[in-house]
C-alpha cells in the first residue's frame, strides 16, 4: 500500500528496499526485489547493460520474465534499482573539511568514475535518469554540502552539482563504449586507425585535424578526466570571493 508504483520521486522517511521482512521459506527459490537486483547486477558486470533484460535476469533466477513484475514495475525501474545500488559504492569523504573542499569534491568525482568503471556500461543508464534513489541521495547531499562549505552560493552550488555529475557520468559512459560497443576493437587499434585516418585527410579542408592527428588520438583517459575536472572545480572556485579574514596559519 505504501509503495508508490508510479515514478521517481518517492515519499521520504524510512523506506525498505524489498517487501516487509518475512521468514523466507527457501532462500534460494524465493523472489524479491533485492534478489532481482542482485541477479541483474551480476548480468550487468558480466555482459553489460544490453544483456540486462527481463528474460535474462529471470533466467538467472530460474523463473520466467513475467514473475519479475510482482516485485518490479518495469524494466526501467529494475535498471534504476541496479543503478541506485551501484551508486551506493561511491566513497564520500567524511567529515567535510572546508579547507579542502576542492580536493574533496574531486575525490567524490573520482570515486564516482571508478565506481561506474567497475560496473560495465551502467553509466549509460545514469545519464538518462537523474538518479534520485536512496543510494544517490547521500552522494548528492555530500556534493552540495562540500560546495557550500567552500563558500559557493546556493545557486552556483546547484548548477555545479549538475555539471559535475554530468561530467563524470558522461566520461564513464564514453569510456565504457570502448569495451561494450561492437564497432571499436580495443582502444589501441581503434586509436591507431583513427590517427591514420585523420592524418590522411585533405590538408586544405581539414588542416588542424591533420596537424593534430597525433595528440587528438593519444590522450590518456585518466589525464583527460583530471584535466576536465580541474577546469570545472577551478572555475567553480573562482565564483567565491576569497575569504576576508586570512587566518594566520595561511601557510
User: Which residues form the interface with DNA (CB under 7 A)?
Assistant: 19, 30-31, 51, 53-56, 63-67, 69-71, 74-76
> Cβ closer to a copy of itself: 30 or 211?
211
Say how far apart CA 40 and CA 34 lie, in whole Å. Answer: 10
Which string of x and - marks every residue 181-220 that binds a copy of itself (by CB under 8 A)?
A: xxxx--------xx-xx--xxx--xxxxx-xx--xx--x-
Find the binding residues for a copy of itself in span 138-157 (CB under 8 A): 138, 140-141, 144-145, 148, 154-157
Cα–Cα distance measured from residue 130 to residue 10, given in angstroms and rounded to the nearest whole number = 14
Q: From the list a copy of itself, DNA, none, pick the one residue 194 interacts with, judged by a Cβ distance below 5 to 8 Å according to partner type.
A: a copy of itself
For the bound state, the minimum distance from the C-beta of residue 84 to a copy of itself, rounded and expressed in Å, comes to 14
Binding piece for a copy of itself, criterion CB under 8 A, among 24-32, 83-91, 110-118, 159-167: 159-167
| Residue 121 vs residues 28, 52, 157, 164: alpha-carbon distances, Å | 28, 11, 28, 19
56 contact, one of DNA, a copy of itself, none, CB 5-8 Å limit per kind:
DNA
Q: Mark 104-143 with x for binding to a copy of itself (rule: CB under 8 A) and - for no binding.
A: --------------------x--xx-x-x----xx-xx--
Distance between CA atoms of residues 199 and 61, nearest Å: 51
Q: In the window 15-74, what residues touch a copy of itself (CB under 8 A)?
A: none
Query: Judged by CB, which is closer to DNA: 56, or 191?
Result: 56
Stretch that binds a copy of itself, among 3-11, 26-34, 60-68, 109-117 (CB under 8 A): 3-11
Residue 236 touches which member of DNA, a copy of itself, none, C-beta under 5-8 Å by kind: a copy of itself
3-state secondary structure of 9: coil
Q: Map grid coordinates 587566518 to a residue.
A: 247
63 in Cβ contact with 55 (< 8 Å): no
CA distance 59 to 231: 46
Helices (H), the chain: 33-47, 54-60, 75-87, 101-118, 123-127, 136-149, 154-180, 187-199, 207-211, 213-217, 221-237
- Which contacts qualify for 127-134: CB closer than 8 Å, 24 or more apart? 127/169, 127/170, 127/173, 129/8, 129/80, 129/83, 130/8, 131/80, 131/83, 131/84, 131/87, 132/8, 132/9, 132/10, 133/8, 133/10, 133/80, 133/81, 133/83, 133/84, 133/87, 134/15, 134/17, 134/84
Q: How many residues bind a copy of itself (CB under 8 A)?
A: 69
Q: Which residues bind a copy of itself (CB under 8 A)?
A: 7-13, 76, 124, 127-128, 130, 132, 137-138, 140-141, 144-145, 148, 154-159, 161-163, 166-167, 169-171, 173-174, 177, 181-184, 193-194, 196-197, 200-202, 205-209, 211-212, 215-216, 219, 223-224, 227-228, 230-232, 234-236, 238
Amino acid at each position: 500500500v505504501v509503495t508508490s508504483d508510479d515514478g521517481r520521486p518517492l515519499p521520504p522517511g524510512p523506506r525498505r528496499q524489498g517487501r516487509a521482512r518475512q521468514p523466507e521459506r527457501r532462500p534460494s527459490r524465493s523472489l524479491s526485489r533485492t534478489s532481482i537486483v542482485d541477479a541483474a547486477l551480476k548480468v550487468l558486470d558480466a555482459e553489460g547493460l544490453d544483456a540486462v533484460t527481463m528474460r535474462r535476469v529471470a533466467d538467472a533466477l530460474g523463473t520466467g520474465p513475467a514473475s519479475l513484475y510482482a516485485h518490479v514495475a518495469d524494466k526501467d525501474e529494475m535498471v534504476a534499482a541496479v543503478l541506485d545500488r551501484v551508486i551506493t559504492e561511491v566513497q564520500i569523504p567524511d567529515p567535510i573539511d572546508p579547507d579542502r573542499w576542492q580536493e574533496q569534491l574531486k575525490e567524490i568525482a573520482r570515486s564516482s568514475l571508478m565506481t561506474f568503471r567497475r560496473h560495465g556500461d551502467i553509466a549509460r543508464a545514469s545519464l538518462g535518469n537523474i538518479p534520485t534513489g536512496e543510494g544517490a541521495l547521500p552522494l548528492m547531499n555530500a556534493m552540495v554540502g562540500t560546495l557550500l562549505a567552500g563558500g559557493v552560493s546556493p545557486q552556483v552550488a546547484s548548477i555545479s552539482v549538475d555539471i559535475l555529475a554530468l561530467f563524470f557520468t558522461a566520461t564513464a559512459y564514453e569510456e565504457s563504449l570502448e569495451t561494450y560497443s561492437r564497432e571499436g576493437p580495443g582502444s589501441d587499434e581503434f586509436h591507431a586507425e583513427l590517427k591514420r585516418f585523420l592524418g590522411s585527410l585533405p590538408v586544405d579542408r581539414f588542416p588542424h585535424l591533420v596537424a593534430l592527428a597525433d595528440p587528438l588520438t593519444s590522450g590518456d583517459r585518466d589525464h583527460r578526466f583530471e584535466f576536465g575536472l580541474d577546469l570545472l572545480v577551478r572555475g567553480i572556485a573562482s565564483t567565491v570571493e576569497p575569504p576576508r579574514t586570512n587566518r594566520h596559519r595561511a601557510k
